[in-house]
Amino acid sequence: MPQVFARYADGTAMLADCPAGDRPGGDAARRAARALAEACEQVGWVYRRLGPADPVTAANVRWLAGYRHPRHLGRAGLAQAVLEAFAERRPMVEGVRAVGDPLEVWPVVFHCLWSGRLGVELGEPLHERVLVGPGRTGSGQEQQATVARQGAGA
C-alpha cells in the first residue's frame, strides 16, 4: 500500500497509508498498520489511513501536477498578473482573458493552482467556468503539500 509523508510548516509530520480501495486488507495489512502507528507515535508523528481519493479530486490533482514545474510560470511578471486577476473569486476563463493570450496564460493559472497561490474547489471538475480565487498560501513554501492535502482529503 503506498505511503505519503508530509512535513507541515509548523514542523509536525504525518505518515499516511493511501490504499487503492476501501477494503481494509487482511490480517497482515492490519498488523502492518498497527506497527506503523506505533512507530509513528514513538517519533512524534501522526499516522493516518486515508480512504481512496474522490475520483474527481484525483483527476484534478493529476491534471494540475502536469503543471508543477516552474517553467509554467511563463515570462517575468505574468504570474503576478494572474494572481492580481484572481484577487477576487471569478470564473477561470474570465481571469485568463483579463490577463492576455490564453495560450500563454492557462499554464500559469494551472501552475498557480498547483502551488496553492490560487485556490479552487478540487471536488468539482475543472472547467473554464469554475471559480478561482486567492490560494491558501502566498508563497511556494508549502505548494505541493497544499494540493496533496486537498487531494488526499486531509
pLDDT tens by residue, 59-104: 999 999 999 999 999 999 999 999 999 999 999 999 999 999 999 9
Specify whether 40 is located in the same domain as 61: no
Ranges of the chain with pLDDT below 70: 1-2, 22, 24, 137-154
Q: Looking at the structure, do residues 73 and 143 belong to the same domain, yes or no? A: yes
- Residue range of the domain that includes 78: 55-152
Cα gap 61→51, rounded to integer Å:
16
* pLDDT of the residue at 85: 98
Residues 8 and 34 in one domain: yes
pLDDT given for residue 83 in this prediction: 97
The Cα 49–Cα 55 span in angstroms is 18
What pLDDT does 56 receive? 96
Q: Output the pLDDT for position 29.
A: 81
